[in-house]
Protein backbone atom coordinates (compact mmCIF):
# COMPACT_ATOMS: atom_id res chain seq x y z
CA UNK A 1 0.00 0.00 0.00
CA UNK A 2 1.42 3.36 -1.01
CA UNK A 3 1.79 5.96 1.73
CA UNK A 4 0.85 9.59 1.13
CA UNK A 5 1.45 12.56 3.38
CA UNK A 6 -1.18 15.26 2.87
CA UNK A 7 -0.43 18.85 3.81
CA UNK A 8 -3.56 19.54 5.84
CA UNK A 9 -3.86 23.32 6.04
CA UNK A 10 -7.14 23.43 7.94
CA UNK A 11 -8.96 24.43 4.75
CA UNK A 12 -11.63 22.63 2.77
CA UNK A 13 -9.45 21.76 -0.25
CA UNK A 14 -6.79 19.78 1.60
CA UNK A 15 -9.47 18.11 3.77
CA UNK A 16 -11.22 16.72 0.71
CA UNK A 17 -7.87 15.80 -0.87
CA UNK A 18 -7.13 13.61 2.17
CA UNK A 19 -10.55 11.97 1.97
CA UNK A 20 -10.20 11.19 -1.76
CA UNK A 21 -6.78 9.60 -1.27
CA UNK A 22 -8.15 7.40 1.47
CA UNK A 23 -10.99 6.37 -0.83
CA UNK A 24 -8.42 5.51 -3.51
CA UNK A 25 -6.78 3.08 -1.13
CA UNK A 26 -3.67 4.99 -0.06
CA UNK A 27 -2.37 4.95 3.48
CA UNK A 28 -2.83 8.62 4.38
CA UNK A 29 -1.04 10.71 7.02
CA UNK A 30 -2.10 14.31 7.70
CA UNK A 31 0.61 16.85 8.43
CA UNK A 32 -0.01 20.48 9.38
CA UNK A 33 2.78 22.99 8.75
CA UNK A 34 3.21 25.78 11.21
CA UNK A 35 5.09 28.25 9.11
CA UNK A 36 5.38 31.60 10.64
CA UNK A 37 3.55 33.63 13.13
CA UNK A 38 4.39 37.11 14.22
CA UNK A 39 1.64 38.76 16.21
CA UNK A 40 2.95 42.24 15.60
CA UNK A 41 1.86 42.32 11.97
CA UNK A 42 -1.23 40.18 11.69
CA UNK A 43 -4.47 42.05 11.19
CA UNK A 44 -6.72 40.22 13.60
CA UNK A 45 -6.23 39.17 17.19
CA UNK A 46 -7.29 35.65 16.48
CA UNK A 47 -4.45 33.21 16.15
CA UNK A 48 -5.00 31.83 12.66
CA UNK A 49 -2.51 29.01 12.73
CA UNK A 50 -3.85 27.64 16.01
CA UNK A 51 -7.38 27.65 14.70
CA UNK A 52 -6.25 26.12 11.40
CA UNK A 53 -4.21 23.36 13.01
CA UNK A 54 -7.15 22.57 15.26
CA UNK A 55 -9.46 22.30 12.22
CA UNK A 56 -6.89 20.09 10.51
CA UNK A 57 -6.77 17.83 13.57
CA UNK A 58 -10.57 17.52 13.66
CA UNK A 59 -10.63 16.62 9.96
CA UNK A 60 -7.94 13.95 10.48
CA UNK A 61 -9.91 12.49 13.39
CA UNK A 62 -13.10 12.42 11.31
CA UNK A 63 -11.31 10.68 8.44
CA UNK A 64 -9.53 8.34 10.83
CA UNK A 65 -6.00 9.19 9.70
CA UNK A 66 -2.91 9.88 11.84
CA UNK A 67 -2.06 13.55 12.24
CA UNK A 68 0.85 15.63 13.40
CA UNK A 69 2.06 19.21 13.29
CA UNK A 70 5.50 20.23 12.07
CA UNK A 71 7.03 23.57 12.91
CA UNK A 72 8.75 24.98 9.84
CA UNK A 73 8.90 28.56 11.05
CA UNK A 74 12.72 28.68 11.05
CA UNK A 75 13.02 27.52 7.46
CA UNK A 76 10.09 29.68 6.48
CA UNK A 77 11.65 32.78 7.91
CA UNK A 78 14.92 32.09 6.22
CA UNK A 79 13.62 31.01 2.82
CA UNK A 80 10.52 33.16 2.38
CA UNK A 81 10.43 36.10 4.77
CA UNK A 82 14.07 37.10 4.38
CA UNK A 83 13.79 36.69 0.63
CA UNK A 84 10.74 38.96 0.58
CA UNK A 85 12.55 41.70 2.48
CA UNK A 86 15.58 41.55 0.24
CA UNK A 87 13.44 41.64 -2.92
CA UNK A 88 11.41 44.63 -1.70
CA UNK A 89 14.63 46.36 -0.78
CA UNK A 90 15.80 46.00 -4.39
CA UNK A 91 12.52 47.50 -5.55
CA UNK A 92 11.21 44.15 -6.80
CA UNK A 93 7.85 42.60 -5.89
CA UNK A 94 8.20 38.94 -4.93
CA UNK A 95 5.51 36.28 -5.07
CA UNK A 96 5.70 34.42 -1.76
CA UNK A 97 3.10 31.82 -2.78
CA UNK A 98 5.08 30.54 -5.75
CA UNK A 99 8.18 30.48 -3.60
CA UNK A 100 6.48 28.77 -0.70
CA UNK A 101 5.52 25.87 -2.96
CA UNK A 102 9.01 25.52 -4.38
CA UNK A 103 10.97 26.00 -1.16
CA UNK A 104 8.66 24.84 1.63
CA UNK A 105 5.80 22.55 0.60
CA UNK A 106 7.64 20.63 -2.09
CA UNK A 107 11.07 20.83 -0.52
CA UNK A 108 11.39 21.09 3.27
CA UNK A 109 7.94 19.58 3.83
CA UNK A 110 8.45 16.93 1.16
CA UNK A 111 11.71 15.82 2.78
CA UNK A 112 9.92 15.39 6.11
CA UNK A 113 7.18 13.38 4.37
CA UNK A 114 9.70 11.13 2.66
CA UNK A 115 11.48 10.60 5.97
CA UNK A 116 8.15 9.29 7.28
CA UNK A 117 8.29 6.66 4.57
CA UNK A 118 5.88 8.43 2.23
CA UNK A 119 5.81 7.61 -1.46
CA UNK A 120 4.01 10.83 -2.29
CA UNK A 121 3.10 14.25 -0.97
CA UNK A 122 -0.39 15.58 -1.71
CA UNK A 123 -1.84 19.10 -1.49
CA UNK A 124 -5.24 20.68 -2.08
CA UNK A 125 -4.15 22.56 -5.20
CA UNK A 126 -6.50 22.87 -8.15
CA UNK A 127 -4.20 21.39 -10.77
CA UNK A 128 -3.46 18.00 -12.30
CA UNK A 129 -0.41 15.90 -13.00
CA UNK A 130 0.11 14.08 -16.27
CA UNK A 131 2.69 11.50 -17.26
CA UNK A 132 4.01 10.95 -20.76
CA UNK A 133 6.87 8.89 -22.12
CA UNK A 134 9.58 10.62 -24.07
CA UNK A 135 12.69 8.87 -25.43
CA UNK A 136 12.02 6.00 -23.04
CA UNK A 137 11.82 8.29 -19.99
CA UNK A 138 8.85 9.15 -17.79
CA UNK A 139 8.14 12.87 -18.08
CA UNK A 140 5.75 14.58 -15.67
CA UNK A 141 3.36 17.31 -16.74
CA UNK A 142 1.80 20.08 -14.67
CA UNK A 143 -1.72 20.54 -16.04
CA UNK A 144 -4.35 23.17 -15.28
CA UNK A 145 -7.13 22.27 -12.85
CA UNK A 146 -10.51 21.41 -14.41
CA UNK A 147 -12.12 24.36 -12.59
CA UNK A 148 -11.07 27.28 -14.78
CA UNK A 149 -12.10 29.65 -12.01
CA UNK A 150 -9.75 28.11 -9.48
CA UNK A 151 -6.87 26.73 -11.57
CA UNK A 152 -3.76 27.07 -9.37
CA UNK A 153 -1.09 25.60 -11.62
CA UNK A 154 0.52 29.08 -11.74
CA UNK A 155 1.49 28.81 -8.06
CA UNK A 156 3.38 25.57 -8.85
CA UNK A 157 5.22 27.03 -11.85
CA UNK A 158 8.62 26.59 -10.20
CA UNK A 159 8.38 22.88 -9.44
CA UNK A 160 10.92 20.46 -10.88
CA UNK A 161 10.47 17.02 -12.48
CA UNK A 162 11.81 15.51 -9.27
CA UNK A 163 9.23 17.36 -7.13
CA UNK A 164 6.37 16.59 -9.53
CA UNK A 165 7.25 12.89 -9.58
CA UNK A 166 6.36 12.69 -5.88
CA UNK A 167 3.36 15.04 -5.93
CA UNK A 168 -0.35 14.21 -6.02
CA UNK A 169 -3.19 16.67 -6.61
CA UNK A 170 -6.38 14.77 -5.73
CA UNK A 171 -8.88 17.60 -6.30
CA UNK A 172 -7.55 18.76 -9.68
CA UNK A 173 -10.40 17.01 -11.50
CA UNK A 174 -13.07 18.72 -9.36
CA UNK A 175 -14.61 22.17 -9.19
CA UNK A 176 -14.73 24.17 -5.99
CA UNK A 177 -18.51 23.64 -5.54
CA UNK A 178 -17.97 19.88 -5.90
CA UNK A 179 -15.24 19.97 -3.26
CA UNK A 180 -17.49 21.88 -0.85
CA UNK A 181 -20.30 19.43 -1.52
CA UNK A 182 -18.12 16.43 -0.63
CA UNK A 183 -17.00 18.17 2.56
CA UNK A 184 -20.64 18.90 3.51
CA UNK A 185 -21.69 15.31 2.90
CA UNK A 186 -18.87 14.14 5.16
CA UNK A 187 -19.84 16.80 7.67
CA UNK A 188 -16.28 18.12 7.83
CA UNK A 189 -15.70 21.18 10.00
CA UNK A 190 -13.99 22.89 7.05
CA UNK A 191 -16.93 22.51 4.63
CA UNK A 192 -18.13 26.11 4.91
CA UNK A 193 -14.80 27.66 5.82
CA UNK A 194 -13.80 30.64 3.72
CA UNK A 195 -10.75 30.39 1.54
CA UNK A 196 -7.69 31.79 3.22
CA UNK A 197 -6.48 35.07 1.81
CA UNK A 198 -3.15 36.67 2.33
CA UNK A 199 0.34 35.34 2.08
CA UNK A 200 0.95 31.66 1.93
CA UNK A 201 0.52 30.48 5.50
CA UNK A 202 1.44 33.79 7.09
CA UNK A 203 -2.14 34.43 7.91
CA UNK A 204 -3.59 37.83 7.35
CA UNK A 205 -0.67 40.20 7.21
CA UNK A 206 -0.68 43.91 6.56
CA UNK A 207 2.06 44.21 4.01
CA UNK A 208 3.23 47.76 4.76
CA UNK A 209 3.52 47.05 8.49
CA UNK A 210 5.20 43.78 7.70
CA UNK A 211 7.76 45.54 5.51
CA UNK A 212 8.28 48.42 7.93
CA UNK A 213 9.80 46.03 10.44
CA UNK A 214 12.90 45.74 8.28
CA UNK A 215 12.73 48.48 5.70
CA UNK A 216 12.97 51.90 7.27
CA UNK A 217 10.48 54.57 6.16
CA UNK A 218 12.08 57.24 4.00
CA UNK A 219 10.04 60.18 2.80
CA UNK A 220 10.02 60.84 -0.92
CA UNK A 221 7.94 62.53 -3.60
CA UNK A 222 5.10 61.24 -5.78
CA UNK A 223 5.13 62.52 -9.37
CA UNK A 224 2.33 62.41 -11.89
CA UNK A 225 3.17 61.87 -15.56
CA UNK A 226 0.61 62.97 -18.16
CA UNK A 227 -0.61 60.38 -20.64
CA UNK A 228 0.33 62.69 -23.54
CA UNK A 229 3.91 63.18 -22.34
CA UNK A 230 6.37 63.04 -25.27
CA UNK A 231 8.18 60.20 -23.50
CA UNK A 232 5.42 57.94 -24.91
CA UNK A 233 5.87 59.14 -28.48
CA UNK A 234 9.35 57.94 -29.31
CA UNK A 235 10.29 58.09 -33.00
CA UNK A 236 10.30 54.69 -34.72
CA UNK A 237 13.76 53.30 -34.25
CA UNK A 238 15.39 50.80 -36.56
CA UNK A 239 17.08 47.74 -35.08
CA UNK A 240 19.80 45.52 -36.49
CA UNK A 241 18.31 42.33 -35.09
CA UNK A 242 15.29 40.81 -33.41
CA UNK A 243 17.31 40.51 -30.22
CA UNK A 244 18.18 44.21 -30.26
CA UNK A 245 14.54 45.16 -30.68
CA UNK A 246 13.44 42.79 -27.88
CA UNK A 247 16.08 44.23 -25.56
CA UNK A 248 14.79 47.72 -26.29
CA UNK A 249 11.11 46.80 -25.86
CA UNK A 250 11.73 44.93 -22.61
CA UNK A 251 13.34 47.93 -20.92
CA UNK A 252 10.97 49.89 -18.71
CA UNK A 253 10.85 53.64 -19.40
CA UNK A 254 13.06 55.49 -16.99
CA UNK A 255 11.40 58.62 -15.67
CA UNK A 256 12.92 61.65 -14.03
CA UNK A 257 11.23 64.39 -11.96
CA UNK A 258 11.35 66.74 -15.00
CA UNK A 259 8.84 64.48 -16.78
CA UNK A 260 6.05 65.21 -14.33
CA UNK A 261 4.71 67.29 -11.48
CA UNK A 262 4.78 66.63 -7.75
CA UNK A 263 1.38 65.53 -6.42
CA UNK A 264 2.22 64.17 -2.99
CA UNK A 265 4.62 62.46 -0.60
CA UNK A 266 5.21 58.83 0.35
CA UNK A 267 7.04 56.96 3.09
CA UNK A 268 9.36 54.84 0.98
CA UNK A 269 9.41 53.73 -2.66
CA UNK A 270 10.25 50.17 -1.60
CA UNK A 271 6.79 49.73 -0.06
CA UNK A 272 5.08 50.20 -3.44
CA UNK A 273 4.61 48.15 -6.55
CA UNK A 274 3.79 48.88 -10.19
CA UNK A 275 0.09 48.95 -11.00
CA UNK A 276 -0.76 49.69 -7.36
CA UNK A 277 -3.51 52.18 -6.76
CA UNK A 278 -4.25 52.03 -3.05
CA UNK A 279 -2.19 53.64 -0.32
CA UNK A 280 -1.00 56.71 -2.23
CA UNK A 281 -3.32 59.11 -0.40
CA UNK A 282 -3.33 61.64 -3.21
CA UNK A 283 -6.73 63.15 -3.96
CA UNK A 284 -8.09 65.65 -6.44
CA UNK A 285 -7.34 63.82 -9.66
CA UNK A 286 -10.02 63.16 -12.24
CA UNK A 287 -9.19 59.45 -12.47
CA UNK A 288 -7.44 57.26 -9.89
CA UNK A 289 -3.66 57.40 -9.86
CA UNK A 290 -1.79 54.19 -10.67
CA UNK A 291 1.89 53.62 -10.00
CA UNK A 292 3.72 53.33 -13.31
CA UNK A 293 7.27 53.21 -11.90
CA UNK A 294 9.23 53.36 -8.66
CA UNK A 295 12.83 54.45 -8.40
CA UNK A 296 14.60 53.01 -5.37
CA UNK A 297 17.79 55.00 -6.00
CA UNK A 298 16.09 58.40 -5.89
CA UNK A 299 13.18 57.19 -3.73
CA UNK A 300 10.65 58.56 -6.22
CA UNK A 301 7.27 57.18 -7.25
CA UNK A 302 5.83 57.94 -10.69
CA UNK A 303 2.09 57.71 -11.28
CA UNK A 304 -0.41 58.19 -14.07
CA UNK A 305 -4.18 58.69 -14.17
CA UNK A 306 -6.45 55.79 -15.03
CA UNK A 307 -5.86 52.11 -15.76
CA UNK A 308 -5.34 52.81 -19.47
CA UNK A 309 -2.39 55.12 -18.89
CA UNK A 310 0.33 54.34 -21.47
CA UNK A 311 2.94 54.12 -18.70
CA UNK A 312 1.33 50.88 -17.48
CA UNK A 313 1.77 48.91 -20.71
CA UNK A 314 4.60 46.96 -22.33
CA UNK A 315 4.53 43.99 -24.65
CA UNK A 316 7.95 42.46 -23.96
CA UNK A 317 9.55 41.31 -20.76
CA UNK A 318 12.90 39.71 -20.04
CA UNK A 319 13.89 36.81 -17.81
CA UNK A 320 17.57 36.46 -16.90
CA UNK A 321 18.98 33.09 -17.93
CA UNK A 322 19.69 32.01 -14.37
CA UNK A 323 16.01 32.63 -13.50
CA UNK A 324 14.52 30.67 -16.39
CA UNK A 325 12.89 27.44 -15.20
CA UNK A 326 11.55 24.67 -17.42
CA UNK A 327 9.27 22.13 -15.76
CA UNK A 328 9.46 20.29 -19.07
CA UNK A 329 13.24 20.19 -19.29
CA UNK A 330 12.94 18.44 -22.66
CA UNK A 331 11.40 21.60 -24.15
CA UNK A 332 14.21 23.96 -23.05
CA UNK A 333 15.05 26.43 -25.81
CA UNK A 334 18.55 26.74 -27.20
CA UNK A 335 20.06 30.11 -28.13
CA UNK A 336 18.38 31.50 -31.22
CA UNK A 337 15.27 29.35 -30.81
CA UNK A 338 11.72 30.60 -30.33
CA UNK A 339 8.44 29.03 -29.22
CA UNK A 340 4.80 30.10 -29.41
CA UNK A 341 3.08 29.79 -26.05
CA UNK A 342 0.29 31.22 -23.95
CA UNK A 343 1.60 33.08 -20.94
CA UNK A 344 0.42 34.95 -17.86
CA UNK A 345 2.21 37.39 -15.58
CA UNK A 346 -0.04 36.95 -12.55
CA UNK A 347 -2.41 34.44 -11.01
CA UNK A 348 -5.98 34.52 -12.41
CA UNK A 349 -4.95 36.45 -15.51
CA UNK A 350 -6.37 34.99 -18.73
CA UNK A 351 -3.64 33.25 -20.73
CA UNK A 352 -2.19 35.59 -23.36
CA UNK A 353 -0.68 34.72 -26.74
CA UNK A 354 3.08 35.20 -26.66
CA UNK A 355 6.35 34.09 -28.24
CA UNK A 356 9.43 33.09 -26.27
CA UNK A 357 12.84 34.00 -27.71
CA UNK A 358 15.97 32.53 -26.15
CA UNK A 359 19.27 34.40 -26.59
CA UNK A 360 22.58 34.46 -24.79
CA UNK A 361 21.43 37.75 -23.24
CA UNK A 362 18.33 36.13 -21.72
CA UNK A 363 14.85 34.84 -22.47
CA UNK A 364 12.35 37.33 -23.87
CA UNK A 365 8.59 36.93 -23.70
CA UNK A 366 6.92 38.95 -26.43
CA UNK A 367 3.15 39.31 -26.05
CA UNK A 368 0.75 39.80 -28.93
CA UNK A 369 -1.15 42.38 -26.86
CA UNK A 370 0.52 44.93 -24.52
CA UNK A 371 0.33 43.82 -20.87
CA UNK A 372 -0.52 46.04 -17.93
CA UNK A 373 1.79 46.38 -14.92
CA UNK A 374 4.59 43.98 -15.80
CA UNK A 375 6.30 43.85 -12.42
CA UNK A 376 9.91 43.00 -11.68
CA UNK A 377 10.28 40.08 -9.29
CA UNK A 378 6.93 38.51 -10.18
CA UNK A 379 6.70 35.26 -12.13
CA UNK A 380 5.78 34.85 -15.76
CA UNK A 381 4.56 31.33 -16.57
CA UNK A 382 4.00 29.85 -20.01
CA UNK A 383 1.70 27.11 -21.23
CA UNK A 384 1.24 24.89 -24.23
CA UNK A 385 -2.51 24.21 -24.23
CA UNK A 386 -3.45 23.35 -20.64
CA UNK A 387 0.07 22.32 -19.66
CA UNK A 388 2.30 24.75 -17.77
CA UNK A 389 5.75 24.01 -19.18
CA UNK A 390 7.97 26.72 -17.70
CA UNK A 391 8.31 29.99 -15.84
CA UNK A 392 10.76 32.68 -14.84
CA UNK A 393 11.25 35.75 -12.69
CA UNK A 394 10.53 39.01 -14.52
CA UNK A 395 13.76 41.00 -14.57
* 372 labeled part of a ligand binding site: no
Any alpha helices (H) in 118-229, and if so which ranges? 161-165, 176-185, 207-212
* Residues 6 or more apart in contact with residue 201 via CB below 8 angstroms: 9, 33, 35, 36, 49, 76, 100, 104
Nearest-angstrom CA–CA distance, 315 and 30: 44
The bridge status of strand 387-394 relative to strand 313-326 is: antiparallel
Spatial strand order of the sheet with 3-7 comes to 67-71, 27-34, 3-7, 120-122, 167-168
* 9 labeled part of a ligand binding site: yes
Name the DSSP letter for residue 254: P
Query: Is-catalytic flag, 157?
Result: no
* 33 labeled part of a ligand binding site: yes
Nearest-angstrom CA–CA distance, 314 and 372: 7
Distance from the Cα of residue 317 to its chain's centroid: 17
Residue 35, CB-side half-sphere exposure with 13 Å CA sphere: 25
Which of 149, 144, 148 minimizes the C-alpha distance to 128? 144
4-27: string of b/e by CB count within 10 Å (b at 16+)?
bbbbbbbbbbbbbbbbbbbeeebb
Q: DSSP letters of 222-248?
A: EEE--TT-GGG-PPPP--SSHHHHHHH
Nearest-angstrom CA–CA distance, 221 and 268: 9
Measured CA distances, 278 to 31, 213, 271, 282 (Å): 37, 20, 12, 10
* 38 labeled part of a ligand binding site: no
* 124 labeled part of a ligand binding site: yes
* 15 labeled part of a ligand binding site: no
Query: Is-catalytic flag, 100?
Result: yes
Nearest-angstrom CA–CA distance, 263 and 302: 10
The bridge status of strand 387-394 relative to strand 352-359 is: unpaired
* 73 labeled part of a ligand binding site: no
Nearest-angstrom CA–CA distance, 47 and 42: 9
Q: Facing residues of 143 across strands?
A: 128, 387
* 304 labeled part of a ligand binding site: no
Binding-site residues: 7-14, 33, 124
Binding-site residues for ATP: 7-14, 33, 124
Residues that are catalytic? 100, 200
Amino acid sequence: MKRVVVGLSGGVDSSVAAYLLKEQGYEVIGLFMKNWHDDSVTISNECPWLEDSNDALLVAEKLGIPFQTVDLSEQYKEKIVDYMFSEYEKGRTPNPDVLCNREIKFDVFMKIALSLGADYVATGHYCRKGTIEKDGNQVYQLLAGIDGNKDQSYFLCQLSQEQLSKALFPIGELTKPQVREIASKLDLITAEKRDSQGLCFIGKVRLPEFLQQKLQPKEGLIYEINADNEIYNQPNLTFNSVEEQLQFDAKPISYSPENGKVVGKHQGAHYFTIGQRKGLNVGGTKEALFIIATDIETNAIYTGQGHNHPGLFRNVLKVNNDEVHWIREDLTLKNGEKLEVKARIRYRQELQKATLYQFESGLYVSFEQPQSAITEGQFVAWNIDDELVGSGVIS
